[in-house]
Amino acid sequence: MKQYDAVRVATIRDDRFARERPQFQRHPQVGDVGTILEVYSDAFEVECSDPSTGVTVWLEAMFPDELQST
Protein backbone atom coordinates (compact mmCIF):
# COMPACT_ATOMS: atom_id res chain seq x y z
CA MET A 1 0.00 0.00 0.00
CA LYS A 2 1.22 3.47 -0.81
CA GLN A 3 0.27 7.12 -0.39
CA TYR A 4 -3.18 8.01 -1.79
CA ASP A 5 -4.30 4.39 -2.09
CA ALA A 6 -7.91 3.71 -1.13
CA VAL A 7 -8.15 1.17 1.69
CA ARG A 8 -10.86 -0.56 3.69
CA VAL A 9 -10.69 -1.11 7.45
CA ALA A 10 -10.60 -4.90 7.80
CA THR A 11 -10.09 -5.17 11.56
CA ILE A 12 -9.21 -2.98 14.51
CA ARG A 13 -6.60 -4.07 17.06
CA ASP A 14 -7.74 -4.41 20.65
CA ASP A 15 -9.75 -1.45 21.93
CA ARG A 16 -7.60 1.34 20.45
CA PHE A 17 -10.61 3.56 19.81
CA ALA A 18 -12.56 2.91 23.01
CA ARG A 19 -12.13 6.39 24.48
CA GLU A 20 -14.11 9.34 23.19
CA ARG A 21 -12.46 11.82 20.82
CA PRO A 22 -14.73 14.84 20.41
CA GLN A 23 -12.66 16.54 17.70
CA PHE A 24 -13.78 13.95 15.13
CA GLN A 25 -17.28 12.79 14.28
CA ARG A 26 -16.52 9.15 15.12
CA HIS A 27 -13.85 6.47 15.32
CA PRO A 28 -12.90 4.10 12.50
CA GLN A 29 -15.18 1.12 12.03
CA VAL A 30 -14.67 -2.15 10.18
CA GLY A 31 -15.81 -1.65 6.59
CA ASP A 32 -14.96 2.07 6.38
CA VAL A 33 -13.11 3.17 3.25
CA GLY A 34 -10.40 5.79 3.48
CA THR A 35 -7.32 7.19 1.77
CA ILE A 36 -3.72 6.76 2.91
CA LEU A 37 -2.31 10.25 3.46
CA GLU A 38 1.09 9.37 4.96
CA VAL A 39 3.19 6.24 5.02
CA TYR A 40 5.23 5.58 8.19
CA SER A 41 7.65 2.74 8.92
CA ASP A 42 5.02 0.74 10.82
CA ALA A 43 1.68 2.46 10.13
CA PHE A 44 -0.39 4.57 7.75
CA GLU A 45 -2.20 7.85 8.39
CA VAL A 46 -5.67 7.24 6.93
CA GLU A 47 -8.49 9.74 6.35
CA CYS A 48 -12.11 8.73 5.89
CA SER A 49 -14.35 11.42 4.39
CA ASP A 50 -18.08 11.75 3.83
CA PRO A 51 -18.37 11.33 0.03
CA SER A 52 -21.33 13.70 -0.25
CA THR A 53 -19.77 16.62 1.66
CA GLY A 54 -16.01 15.95 1.71
CA VAL A 55 -15.99 16.48 5.48
CA THR A 56 -13.48 14.35 7.39
CA VAL A 57 -15.25 11.63 9.37
CA TRP A 58 -12.03 10.41 11.00
CA LEU A 59 -8.26 10.71 10.65
CA GLU A 60 -6.20 8.04 12.39
CA ALA A 61 -2.93 6.13 12.29
CA MET A 62 -3.77 2.56 11.27
CA PHE A 63 -1.56 -0.55 11.30
CA PRO A 64 -1.01 -2.42 8.01
CA ASP A 65 -2.76 -5.54 9.32
CA GLU A 66 -5.90 -3.47 10.00
CA LEU A 67 -6.28 -2.45 6.35
CA GLN A 68 -6.92 -4.07 2.99
CA SER A 69 -6.68 -2.58 -0.50
CA THR A 70 -9.97 -1.77 -2.22
Residues 6+ apart with CB under 8 A from 39: 1, 2, 3
Radius of gyration (C-alpha) of the chain in whole angstroms: 11
For residue 14, pLDDT over 70 is answered with yes
Separation of alpha carbons 15 and 45, rounded Å: 18
Average pLDDT for the chain:
92
Q: What are the domain boundaries of the chain?
A: 6-69
What is the reported pLDDT for 15? Answer: 83
What is the reported pLDDT for 48? Answer: 96
Q: What are the tens digits of pLDDT across the range 26-59?
A: 889 999 999 999 999 999 999 999 999 998 999 9
pTM: predicted TM-score of the whole model, two decimal places:
0.88
What is the reported pLDDT for 24? Answer: 57
Q: Which of 64, 2, 5, 63 is nearest to 33 (CA)?
A: 5
